[in-house]
Chain A
Amino acid sequence: MNTGRVAAIVLRQFYLTRGSITRTVPLFVWVAIDIVLWGFITKYLNSVSSAGFDFVPVLLGAVLLWDFFTRVMQGVTMAFFEDVWSRNFLNLFASPLTITEYLTGLVITSVITSAVGLVVMIVLAAAVFGLSFNSYGAMLVALVLVLFLFGIALGVAACAIVLRFGPSAEWFVWPIPGLLSPFAGVFYPIATLPRWMQAIAAILPPSHVFEGLRAVVAGGAVVPARLGIAAALAVVYVLGACWLFTRVYRQAVRIGLIARYSAESLA
């Protein structure tokens, strides 16, 4: 892998973000609004619920992690969409850039952009609503890592979908986190769901993360096996997404989609 070519992908995104308020503001505004909204909801719930139960680490912490996951996914897809919108595929893929280098560049871009959102959320949740990360313990790092990997996997898979079906398939991508959230158990235990939804939840890493989070807040601990399953699933999804993107790219080269990307009839 050539680090210069990976750096080119990251640098391009830096140039675009630095000079554009429409790209800078969304990095933190939507997640900040979410934290404020859920911060007040948790405060209200604390005031009306039985004494002793604190909704802040359960709900606000879960919202923070879920927003982080969606930011990671969108960090990958937004960087990819820049090439879609500027019709840059021919210039990119006629260069020595490899698919691995391109995807690595998108992932690094996502790490940077999602880190901005994460820092803003943490500062806001801690300073305004008193969210303490001590209550989660060191296991929080592992849970965040699993969400990060799954966010990358979904981001890469979403890019593959748009590469295959053309620019208008962008609208398939935006609702993906919303579609997954009922199965992920962000706000409620998975046991609340009917059996068929529980079966789907079992193969989604976020459901294990949020179950683990609730267990920790309740004074217990994350079951190592559950964490192991979540991590293994996340890795499988990352590998699967990269395989899918590579396969779609090869097909695109075969049928001429890269050369005529805006010609959606090819899809």
Chain B
Amino acid sequence: MTVLSVTGIRKVYNDVVAVDEVSFDVNAGEIVGLLGPNGAGKTTTINMILGVLEPTAGTIRIKGCDLVTHRRDALARTNFAAVYAPVPGNLTVAQNLRFFGLLYGVTRLAERIDTLIAQFDLDRFRNVKCGVLSSGEQTRVSLAKAMLNRPTLLLLDEPTASLDPATAREIRTSIRAFAGEGAGGVLWTSHNMYEVEEVCDRVLFLSHGRILLEGNPKTLPSEHGKDTLEELFITVAREPLTLEP
């Protein structure tokens, strides 16, 4: 079942083309990595899927709901965590989860908050303001917020960027478990190729706003004469023309 269908999206700022005719799907139970160098168009693509940036052209459907015509329904099935969008630091962990739980219309909210606080090991910080938490703890709060509504589509923009290796592994396990339940799909961006190879079922390489490569992260490097995903990433960043189909 397709949970995200992106068709021919394009974003142009004045004369600058940030995203150019990008099309891809994410299926339920699948983790798709959106990779590319800085400025490739990853965050622009994610912002368009989140409905906070209007595409110049193209359509986005979340579990069949068109983001333009059925925005509320589409966004009620989506959630996200990103390093550049922390939850408000002047509310406590529990207050933030209650606030966002109400926004997303989560039923049996108190119970859901307790579950997520336990799942992301936040019990000690339940009544602590998020602004005084370490960056790793704040990331865990953002992930708990992202899981509140049991999203059909989960967007994660570098979710483990500020985590220590042990915590990052736990987070990866949680996200894999979420995808493994089969109800939701995940679109994941990361610059950690080891992590991408471990977590993602499929990757899309973006360069200059276009999808350059797509495939299984475990086999894609060898298909293009590279030993590792990192080597392939560097080639995409520095010599994308050598990989043009």
Q: A4–B149 Cα gap in the complex (Å)?
A: 14
A93-B52, A259-B47 known; A16 vs B72 contact (CB < 8 Å): no
| 0/1 string, B79-114, CB within 8 A of A gives 1 | 010101111111110010011101111000000000
| 0/1 string, B58-93, CB within 8 A of A gives 1 | 000000000000011101101010101111111110
B80, B82, B102 pick with most chain A CB within 10 angstroms: B102
A90-B52, A94-B52, A253-B53 known; A11 vs B75 contact (CB < 8 Å): no
A11-B102, A94-B75, A95-B104 known; A86 vs B88 contact (CB < 8 Å): yes
Q: A93–B98 Cα gap in the complex (Å)?
A: 17
Cβ B87 vs Cβ A91 within 8 A: yes
Cβ B54 vs Cβ A12 within 8 A: no
| 0/1 string, A77-105, CB within 8 A of B gives 1 | 00000100011111111111110000000
Chain B facing A: main interface SS: mixed
Q: A86–B82 Cα gap in the complex (Å)?
A: 15
Across-interface contacts of A259 in B (CB, < 8 A): 43, 47, 52-53
Across-interface contacts of B105 in A (CB, < 8 A): 2, 4-5, 96
Known: A7-B102, A88-B87, A95-B100. 16 other contacts (CB 8 A): A12-B88, A12-B91, A12-B99, A15-B99, A82-B88, A90-B82, A90-B85, A92-B103, A94-B50, A94-B52, A96-B71, A96-B73, A96-B105, A254-B54, A256-B44, A258-B53
A–B complex contacts, Cβ < 8 Å, 16 sampled: A4-B102, A8-B100, A11-B99, A12-B95, A15-B92, A86-B90, A88-B88, A90-B82, A90-B85, A91-B85, A91-B87, A91-B100, A96-B75, A254-B54, A256-B13, A259-B52
Interface residues of A (CB under 8 A from B): 2, 4-5, 7-8, 11-12, 15-16, 20, 82, 86-98, 253-256, 258-259
